[in-house]
Amino acid sequence: MSQNLNNNSKNPDIKASELLERLELGEALKVLDVREPIEYHTYNIGGANISVGTLMDRLDELEWNEDDEIILVCKAGVRSRTAQSILQQNGYTNTRNLTGGLTAVQRLKS
């Protein structure tokens, strides 16, 4: 069985190591953090913050094109997987979920 939980092979998950490497190279990534605002303000890697519970009502706030690579992050990768489905159902074609969430990023940084 594949390690990639995303059934859509066009949108492979992104590992924390790849995300950190791309951030360190200074890439201007489109990151959508779907945790609650208090979680975002406690620790984040930048990007937009729209909680998964309000995403459907706030899609118009996204300033990205539907074919832009959008990296979805949350604490463990579960809420971001839900957000990925919401975006895909609304026409976003290049979404990637952060495997292991920000917990995996913090583990690599420590």
pTM over 0.85: yes
Among the listed residues 2, 5, 1, 10, the one whose alpha carbon sits nearest the alpha carbon of residue 76:
5
Handedness of CA 36, 41, 43, 49 (dihedral sign): positive
User: Is the confidence at residue 9, as pLDDT, over 60?
Assistant: no
What per-residue confidence (pLDDT) applies to 70? 98
Tell whether 52 is covered by a domain: yes
Q: Give me the CATH number covering residue 34.
A: 3.40.250.10
Q: Write out pLDDT tens, residues 16-60.
A: 999 999 999 999 999 999 999 999 999 999 999 999 999 999 999
What per-residue confidence (pLDDT) applies to 106? 95
Tell whether 1 is covered by a domain: no
Give whole-number Cα distances, 71 to 1, 11, 20, 90, 98, in Å: 24, 10, 12, 16, 7
Tell whether 88 is covered by a domain: yes
Q: Which residue segment(s) compose the domain that 93 sits in?
A: 16-109
Element (H, E) at 95: strand 95-97
Give me the number of domains the chain comprises.
1
**Cα separation of 14 and 86, whole Å?**
18
User: Is the confidence at residue 94, as pLDDT, over 70?
Assistant: yes
